[in-house]
Amino acid sequence: MLPNGEVLIINCGTAGIAGWEIGSEPVLNPVLYRLDIVIGSRFEVQNPSTVPQMYHSTTLLLRHGRVLIGSSNPHKYYRFINVLYPIDLSLEAFHPSSFF
């Protein structure tokens, strides 16, 4: 939940299950849910992420309203090459559209 009451829905795959090479089809576009908007318009798709957050993803709300995102990959071991979703050790800062 963001400081303004909106709910951020972020990170997942749409096929398979999390982990062990089974998860696939990452959702790159976060969605904001706004309870105070008219029914039928409460979900707002945000700009896409550049990194698939497929497994063990976590978010941290920062003081200024940004959301820090990090995750691992769906593999049994650290794999950086020759896999569909290589491990990415970076963090991403998400900026909800309603904050800027």
Query: For the whole model, what pTM was predicted?
Result: 0.76
Q: What's the confidence (pLDDT) of residue 8?
A: 92
Residue 40 has pLDDT above 90, yes or no: yes
Give just the sign of the alpha carbon dihedral 99, 96, 80, 77: positive
Total residue length of the chain:
100
- 17-31, 55-69, 79-93: range with highest mean pLDDT: 55-69
Mean pLDDT (whole number) for 6-28: 80
Would the pLDDT of 20 be above 80?
Answer: no
Spatial distance between the Cα atoms of 62 and 1, rounded to a whole number of angstroms: 12
Beta-ladder partners of 31:
9, 45
